[in-house]
Amino acid sequence: MNASDNAVLSLSRVNKFFGGVHAVAEMTFSVEKGGLTGLIGPNGAGKTTIFNLVTGVYPIDSGEILFKGGSLVGRKSHDIIHLGIARTFQNLRLFHRSTVLENVMTACQHHHRYSFFEALSHLGRWKKEEKVISAKSLELLERVGLADRAYQAAGTLPYGYQRRLEIARALALEPELLLLDEPAAGMNPEEVQALNGLISDIHRDFSLTILVIEHHMDLVMEICPHIVCMNFGAKIAEGGPEEIQNHPEVLKAYLGEEVVDE
């Protein structure tokens, strides 16, 4: 597939090896601006590795990753984030002992800066900017339904709420592209349903482009009009939900091959 002009993120022939393991093989796909793309595949397929390559956690071995036309290859994680990409983590990386609000404020502060000396003296813009930061953070918490838990330690939240907090924290970076890594992991069906609504809502209200890794097929099939399926580091199928559901390679990856007795 050619990287269309409308692509926010495009990977072309990306490779990544971990020792002898070909974790990502010739991966090529792109995420349309304003789209909600699902990235699926069995465990160990290399989905999270893709996120780690995009956000600069690991360097890629070959290929090209473009964000809004500019290359991300060789950039440091913190630079990539400032270009407008935010992500959540499969294994939750919250600041457990800080409060819920503080977690969001930490991410929120990039857009409301004040100088080192204002931080040291609490003079000047400190008061005004801190007010804006905490107000905006509370608003985001309200958005994901955690406003009443703002002052408790993040580590004491139930699992499902911790995932929502990660989303709020990522939104505080005001990204254009949001990468969600298994946001529904460990959730029960009702929670997944609520999360579904949340993802669709923020996608619309923040005019985001979202790439979501998910194991819950019903979530992906319901909210993602465009799905990429990978297995053993390589793309095996791409298309709409219908197409993916009936794709022979996808069925093979998830359900295994029919064994024919000879």
Partner 1 sequence: MSNYTEGILILLMINGIAAMGVSLLTGFTGIFTLGHAAYLAIGSYTTAILTLDYGLHWLPAVLLGGTLAMIIGYLVGLPTLKLMGDYYAIASIGLAESIRLIIENWQSVTNGARGIPGIDTFTTLPTTALFFVVMAYGAFCLINSRIGRAFKACRDDHVAASLLGFNTPRYRVLSLSISAFYVGIAGGLYAGFISFIQPVMFDMLKSTEMTSVVVFGGLGSMSGALLGTTIITLVTELFRPISQYRMLIYGLVLVLVMVFRPEGLLGRHEVGPALFRQLIGRHPAPQREERGPH
β-bridge mates for residue 179, sequence order: 87, 211
- Which residue's CB is nearer to partner 1, number 94 or number 253? 94
Among 9, 36, 50, 101, binds partner 1 (CB under 8 A): 101
What the block records as the tokens of 142 is 């309200």
**Stretch in the footprint of partner 1 (CB under 8 A) among 65-73, 109-117, 210-218, 227-235:** 109-117
At residue 165, φ and ψ (nearest 5 deg) are -65, -40
- The contacts of residue 241 (CB under 8 Å, 6+ apart) are 220, 221, 224, 225, 227
- Under rule CB under 8 A, which residues in 25-84 are in contact with partner 1? 55, 57, 76-78, 81-82
- Under rule CB under 8 A, which residues in 229-248 are in contact with partner 1? none
- Alpha carbons 243 and 221: distance in angstroms, whole number: 11
Site string for partner 1, 162-201 (x = CB under 8 A): -------x---x----------------------------
Q: Does 98 bind partner 1 (CB under 8 A)?
A: yes
Least separation in angstroms between residue 256's CB and partner 1 is 35
- Which residue's CB is nearer to partner 1, number 89 or number 206? 89
Among 114, 157, 223, 233, binds partner 1 (CB under 8 A): 114
- Which residue's CB is nearer to partner 1, number 82 or number 204? 82
> In terms of DSSP H, where are the helices of the chain?
47-54, 77-84, 100-108, 116-121, 126-144, 159-171, 189-205, 217-223, 241-245, 248-255
Q: Does 90 bind partner 1 (CB under 8 A)?
A: no
Nearest CA to 6 out of 52, 49, 69 is that of 69
Among 16, 47, 75, 87, binds partner 1 (CB under 8 A): 87
What the block records as the tokens of 111 is 């857009």
- Alpha carbons 195 and 95: distance in angstroms, whole number: 22
Least separation in angstroms between residue 197's CB and partner 1 is 24
Q: Is the dihedral of CA 40, 42, 43, 49 positive or negative?
A: negative
Among 89, 191, 215, 241, binds partner 1 (CB under 8 A): 89
Instruction: Kindly state the number of chain residues that form the binding site for partner 1, as judged by CB under 8 A.
Output: 47
Least separation in angstroms between residue 16's CB and partner 1 is 18
- Helix, strand, coil % over all residues of the chain, rounded to 5: 40, 25, 35
Q: ∠108-114-116 over CA atoms, to 5°?
A: 115
Among 31, 105, 144, 184, binds partner 1 (CB under 8 A): 105
Residues that bind partner 1 (CB under 8 A): 55, 57, 76-78, 81-82, 87, 89, 93-99, 101-102, 105-107, 109-110, 113-114, 116, 118-122, 126-127, 129-131, 133-135, 138, 147-148, 150-152, 169, 173
